[in-house]
Structure 1
Amino acid sequence: MSKSELLSKNSRHKTEGYGSFSNPNKFFNQDHQQLKHDCLIQRVSFIDETFPPNQQSIGPGILSPNDLANLKWLRPANISPNPAFILQGISRFDFRQGELGNCWFLASIGALTFKKCVFEQIIPSGQTFDKNYCGLFHFRFWRFGKWVDVVIDDKLPTINGRLIFVHSKDPNEFWPALMEKAYAKVCGSYTDMSAGTPAEALMDFTGGVHMSILLSEPPSNLFELMNRAGSSSALMACATPLCGSTSNTLSSNGLVLGHAYTVTGVEQVTTNRGKVVNLVRLWNPWGKGEWNGDWSDRSPLWQTVTPEKRLICLSIEDNGEFWMTVDDFCSFYSDLDICGMSPDFLDRNSSRWWTLSYEGQWVAGTTAGGCGNNTDSFWTNPQYPIEIRAEQFDSNCEKNLLVSLLQKHDKRNRHQVQNHYIGLYIFEVNVLLFQHLPSSFFSSHAPVAQSKSYRNSREVMEFLFLTPGHYVIVPSTYDPNKTASFLLTLYSKDEICSYDNSGDDEKNFIEKVFNIYYYYICHYLVII
């Protein structure tokens, strides 16, 4: 067995039991093929009892009593005379936000329309209102390390025959409304989709690598990074800061505060005076309302570039899409989220990235030691020793390790989830350890890297640089004695191997010591 084969085997072991894209877990144990077969045999239209067409699936607080009294769940054939799942391809201009405050989700769908390969893994092909139609559709999302297949019926909430939530500009097209319903089912109700960050949906669309960038402190290579992301399978979305505690406030520059936008393109232009300008194109999921500053649709600055470049870039329509400089982007937006199916966008080189994932748990009273301020209990947190190995280590590389810590939720309804403040520390050690580090180690050693801050978000991530060597990663909640499950994922430019000593019994300990020795024996045999 070669070294790479052993590492590949080790990586598969770490993710064993996860629902893969090719074989996703069945959400609520519903098999769409079996359900469709049964409906066709019985000649009935599917009704989803796990997400029924009633007020429970709408949820509280988003519709008035009068609207609820007039609410009717209709199938597309009762809304449109010629319903179609997709009409003439997909586009961000296909749909507009409805009465639901889920711009974060729709901005993510806008990004999805640019990446056909990602779109097709979320929305399986062959779904129509024609052949073998029985009122059943299904979608796939990545949820906390597992792909799930989500079945829905096609009864949609309407008032006076019109869709009340997301709707297509063409009344005959229904993929956006059906996808929104499937995600509402995952979240627990339509109400549970209110308010959020694009990163959540972007990750659930890709199941891949997430990078969050604070635009008040942008990296020096931000434009290059966005350009690489745009050329890969990555999706990008961003958000404006809140105005006090109120979202959806329109500012004088045309931007909506506390609102999510899709990044739909990046472009470099040269003016007739030879100035090179880096531009970002953004889209408002409302389908209207645009930036009115430099390089906006009617900005005179467009007259300083060639007619050919204007023809390629400029569209003077109130469709919610506009250009602005990268500098203005960083000034008027708070954060940028990039999610890709692979880590390739992280670095200009096309080198292989190594991946390791672990499922873990903090348990109050045993393995929930809190942050480093808790000197007596911090050492009880789960610990993950890793070794970074590099035969041709690039010391000029700025960053070579992306670490993601994701909280795993066990609540049915998204709004019932209470995120803990989470973060992580990384310590350097002399050898790859086989035992849990004691309290004395942490009292005498400082971390070589750590989270910038502890945040009460679904995920925290750090992109950093580590030289070849041995390290221990310690994820934790800020306060001790907080019980929660998590997913720890590492993406490294350099070869990594690891040993999980996060708190197993003696039998597993001995087994893992054997496995690590087996690795080095195989590695030695490969060398000689």
Structure 2
Amino acid sequence: MSDSVTCTSIINLRYQDGSEGSPSNPARFKYQDYAQLKDNSLRRKRLFVDNTFPPDNRSLGDLPNLSRWQEDEVEWLRPAVKYSVLTCNFFVMQNYLFLTSPGNCWFLAAISSLTFQKHLMAQVVPMDQSFKNYAGIFHFRFWRFGRWVEVVIDDHLPTINNQLLSVRSKGGNEFWVPLLEKAYAKVCGSYADMNAGLPSEACKDFSGGVNMTYELGEAHTAGHDEKLWLQLSRATGCKSMICCGTAPKGLKICHSSFQVEYYGSKEQLVRIMNPWGKTEWNGKWSDKSDVWERVRQEDREKCFDRDDGEFWMALEDFCHYFNMVSICCENPNFIDGDLNCQWQVMIYDGSWVAGASAGGNLSYCESTTFATNPQYRIQVSIIDRKEQDDKNILLSLMQKPQHDNRKQRRSHPIGLTVFKGRLGSSFFNRNRPLKSRQMYSYNRDVIEMHSLEPGEYVVVPSTVRPNMSAEFVLSVFTKSESHAASEAPQ
């Protein structure tokens, strides 16, 4: 797909630009003001120390691959102290190959994918930072459960034997990556709380967008490749973050695709990068494959024979050797290919409270409590008749963590139920959900797309059983201005 193809932006009806929580005015995580703290440090001529995430084992946490004696060897060093300020770089875009610990590879894959999207990079990693006018303080931005937050850190980094403990650049003197990792560890609770995860989780927090995951190996059936190719092509055109992987590890990023003519037929190729900068595919269409000699010169120039972790694969091989691919984009345009439509999103904070608003699943015998769940109304005014099965509504339900620490949070199976009709007395006795079978998931983000005819609808988020207390965020994405969403009174 041509690089000139871009998705339209999202109109956020909750956080208008400039309001707290919007991209241009993120909320202050832990109530820390970066500009004020840096100014105080410069004025006092003291390097900043972050007492909310101190440079000690409390912030490190219980890392599974670190023994007790190794914990005692950890030394927290500042880059500008460990290295000469003249050779210490905050950000060098060309050097995006990293090293990391095995349990953190999911985050590494997400970071690597982020580097290909400059507009998102500038949002997550503010470009006004360097080691000039140095005060030992840095800041980063993440989308966390419905709003953008700014996270302040000091630049103490954990090391053993003068080597960074976790993520580090291949060149050794570039520090935006380990500093970004430290900021993300702070919002997760500790470095240990980042052990094991999915790249889709971090990509969501880098963009606040829509994430979809597709199974590959098991779904490699008739017609599957054509649909997947269409999704990858749309995602590439929409500047999406794309990560692929094999279980239980082996995460990589996919960042472009194109068709090449080979012996008169079209071959669909996917470009993949191994963030570790080594270990490449050595089959057909690999760097050293002789098939490149039988294509046009302009296509051959897309292949570089160098041991850098970047390579091409045929789509068929991609589906065979990888288990899954996740795509995260700022809006849902990549899903149905309608790149010209405008999306709006309304974001609601809600909660299930045991004994009050945690009514559980409609299918349980306690279904009489289902009506106590939070309810949201959607008014659909128009649908694109020219587009078959037009997906005009996307629902995203995220369960907030019940603890500050990511690994210690307890989650419930959650799901969405959609009804058509106007709310009133005995509504749930008189109406049946649009889907006969309701799916509940432990996933952090539950996504549903719907093709809804004009009319009024009710969306009910719920836990699988009654009396499961938790907080959640419901995002309602709608096409154009012809749809409206509102919270129904209880």
TM-score when normalising by structure 1: 0.83
* Mapped partners of 2:203, 2:355: distance in 1: 35
* Mapped partners of 1:200, 1:39: distance in 2: 34
1:479-494 equivalences under 5 Å are 479-493=465-479
Q: What do the CA deviations read for 1:37-95 (whole angstroms, capped 9, x no partner)?
A: 110011011111111111111111331223222211111123322343345x414x523
- 2:3 aligned residue: none
* Mapped partners of 1:394, 1:356: distance in 2: 26
- 1:221 aligned residue: 227
- 2:388 aligned residue: 396
SS in 2 for 1:462: strand
SS in 2 for 1:475: strand
* Mapped partners of 1:38, 1:122: distance in 2: 24
1:419 to 411, 420, 433: 411
2:326 to 332, 337, 340: 337
Give yes or no for contact 1:197–1:260 (8 Å, CA) kept in 2: no
- 1:27 aligned residue: 29
* Mapped partners of 2:381, 2:101: distance in 1: 52
1:273-422 equivalences under 5 Å are 273-312=263-302, 314-346=303-335, 347-374=337-364, 375-390=367-382, 393-422=385-414
* Mapped partners of 2:265, 2:142: distance in 1: 44
* Mapped partners of 1:90, 1:383: distance in 2: 46
- 2:236 aligned residue: 230
- 1:84 aligned residue: 88
How far apart are 1:114 and its partner, in Å? 0.8
Q: What do the CA deviations read for 1:153-184 (whole angstroms, capped 9, x no partner)?
A: 11111112121211112222111111111111
1:6-45 equivalences under 5 Å are 11-12=13-14, 19-45=21-47
Give yes or no for contact 1:426–1:449 (8 Å, CA) kept in 2: no
TM-score when normalising by structure 2: 0.89
Contiguous gaps of at least 5 residues in structure 2: 1-9
SS in 2 for 1:358: strand
Q: Which AA in structure 1 matches 2:117?
A: K
* Mapped partners of 1:154, 1:288: distance in 2: 29
- 1:263 aligned residue: 254
SS in 1 for 2:58: helix
* Mapped partners of 1:422, 1:161: distance in 2: 45
Change (3 A) 1:287 1:450: farther
* Mapped partners of 1:367, 1:16: distance in 2: 33
How far apart are 1:148 and its partner, in Å? 0.7
SS in 1 for 2:398: strand
RMSD: 2.6
Aligned residues: 470
Change (3 A) 1:436 1:308: farther
- 1:174 aligned residue: 175
1:117 to 116, 119, 123: 119
Give yes or no for contact 2:351–2:357 (8 Å, CA) kept in 1: yes
- 1:464 aligned residue: 450
SS in 2 for 1:101: helix
Contiguous gaps of at least 5 residues in structure 1: 1-7, 243-257, 504-528
Q: Which AA in structure 2 matches 1:148?
A: V
Give yes or no for contact 1:228–1:348 (8 Å, CA) kept in 2: no
* Mapped partners of 1:149, 1:491: distance in 2: 24
How far apart are 1:339 and its partner, in Å? 1.7
Higher normalized contact order (CA 8 Å, seq sep 6+, divided by chain length)? 2
Give yes or no for contact 2:211–2:329 (8 Å, CA) kept in 1: yes
Give yes or no for contact 1:208–1:342 (8 Å, CA) kept in 2: yes
1:490-509 equivalences under 5 Å are 490-493=476-479, 495-501=482-488, 503=490
1:443-454 equivalences under 5 Å are 445-448=432-435, 453-454=439-440
Q: What do the CA deviations read for 1:77-120 (whole angstroms, capped 9, x no partner)?
A: 23322343345x414x5232323511111111111111111100
* Mapped partners of 1:500, 1:219: distance in 2: 40
How far apart are 1:436 and its partner, in Å? 6.7
Give yes or no for contact 1:379–1:437 (8 Å, CA) kept in 2: no
Change (3 A) 1:30 1:282: same
Q: What do the CA deviations read for 1:467-518 (whole angstroms, capped 9, x no partner)?
A: 2222211211112211111111122235211331153xxxxxxxxxxxxxxx
* Mapped partners of 1:299, 1:219: distance in 2: 23
